[in-house]
Amino acid sequence: MGAHSVMVSTQVPRGIFVLESQGKRLILKQIRMKKIHLLLVPISFFLVVAMVIAAKEARMKLTSPAFEDGGRIPLKYVMPAAGGKNLSPPLSWSGEPKGTKSFALLCVDPHPVARNWVHWMVINIPAEVHHLEEGASRRAMPPGAKELKNSFGFVGYGGPQPPPGTGDHPYVFTIFALDVEKLDLPEDTKLETFQRAISPHVLAKGRLTGYFGR
């Protein structure tokens, strides 16, 4: 061994970690198996908690035949001021867990310029519903479903209308599976209130993001 050589050895029966360097024998720490088991208990506990949280927020699938996740939103789904018809896009979802009693739907623009501009908020979608057809907002929503006001100030879907020159904006659609049949929220509910109301009831969620810019 050279002047800078280091040899590490382990004595398994007694759990002693030994470091030998330059002929000097240094015992760093003695850990008996009993202590190791005690260390594993809290680790196991936190792993179980993490698994429970992951199960509680299981991933659903949200899709649209109009655009793929990460794709460009077609012009007819944007606001008239941006050249569109403001039709709400067709959406389908699946993969909700057992115990789901209703769905909630949210579409926001988290772009720094938009700052979580709300484009669509819907609550109390019946648990048996897994599809919204094109242009359903304000025209053909499922019985019992309630549309709330968007950031434009009117009830229902308000499509993309990003300021010119600000690049592509992400429009994030999220479907939430809830463990309650009905939420009692007024039409003028703000995003923060909506999020607080659904948070304790979310069983799973799925996301779909489309982009639009001008």
pLDDT tens, 137-188? 999 999 999 999 999 999 999 999 999 999 999 999 999 999 999 999 999 9
- Is it the case that residue 113 has pLDDT exceeding 90? yes
- Is it the case that residue 197 has pLDDT exceeding 50? yes
Where are the CATH 3.90.280.10 domain residues in the chain? 58-212
Q: Which of the pair, 24 or 140, is modelled with greater confidence?
A: 140
- Is it the case that residue 190 has pLDDT exceeding 50? yes
The count of C-alpha atoms lying within 13 angstroms of the C-alpha of 93, restricted to the half-sphere facing its C-beta, is: 27
- Is it the case that residue 124 has pLDDT exceeding 50? yes
- Is it the case that residue 52 has pLDDT exceeding 70? no
CATH fold for the domain made of 58-212? Phosphatidylethanolamine-binding Protein (3.90.280)
**pTM of the shown model:** 0.75
Based on C-alpha coordinates, what's the Rg of the chain?
27
Each residue of 157-168: pLDDT tens digit? 999 999 999 999
Burial environment of residue 142 by CB neighbours within 10 A (0 to 12, 13 to 18, 19 or more):
middle
Task: Specify the residue for token string 């899709």.
Answer: 63
The proportion of the chain whose per-residue pLDDT surpasses 90, expressed as a percent, equals 73
